[in-house]
Structure 1
């Protein structure tokens, strides 16, 4: 299972929730340069993980947002073309979902990560696709 290292994940999560680099540095007692490097490394690792997942399952990538930790792709499931929505969940790794029937915990995660303002499926799909 792919996971960001704990310290890197903490920095990435704080930034994904809207904190500025200088605020993260102050909160963690580290330099702004260390925060910047951790964020850059986290983005690279997330991009690699999402692209690797797409390659393994032969999905066509539509969009990747490493800052917020999600990917939108096109794939095949039971001989149908479907949308694939993959998210990075801190502490759990990447989870992928087929179609627009996303579980409630994904909607809550989207609000927590600042992808949407409300836990609403239509709003989330619109945000992911734009």
Structure 2
């Protein structure tokens, strides 16, 4: 399972939740340059994880947002074309869901990340697709 290193994940999560780099640096007691480097590496690792997953399963990537930690793709499930939603969940790694079948923890995560304002499956799909 793919997971960001703990310190890198902490920096990425703070940024994803809306903190500025200088605020993250002050909070963690590190330099702004260290924050910037961690964010750059986190973005690269998330891109690699999402695109690697798409390549392995022959999915067509429609959208990737590494700042908020998600990917939208199209792929085959049996003989059907389906939408695929992948999320990076801090502490858990990448999780994949089909056609908007999101468990409650994903809806909660999407609210915490600022993707949606309230835990609603239709709103989440709309936000991910726009």
Aligned to 2:125: 125
Q: What TM-score, normalized by structure 1, do the two folds share?
A: 0.98
Name the counterpart of 2:102.
Answer: 102
Name the counterpart of 2:76. 76
Q: Deviations over 1:4-57 (max 9, x none)?
A: 011000000000011110000000000001001100100000000000000000
Partners of 1:72 and 1:102 in 2: CA distance: 13
1:48 has 2:51 as partner: no
Q: CA deviation at 1:78?
A: 2.1
In the alignment, what sits opposite 2:64?
64
1:73-129 CA distances to partner (integer Å, 9 max, x unpaired)? 001112110000000000110000011121111111100111111101111101100
Give the alignment's TM-score, normalised by structure 2. 0.98
Counting matched residue pairs gives: 130
Spell out structure 1 runs of 4+ moving beyond 3 A.
Answer: none
**Residue aligned with 2:3, SS:** coil
Q: Which residue of 2 aligns with 1:10?
A: 10
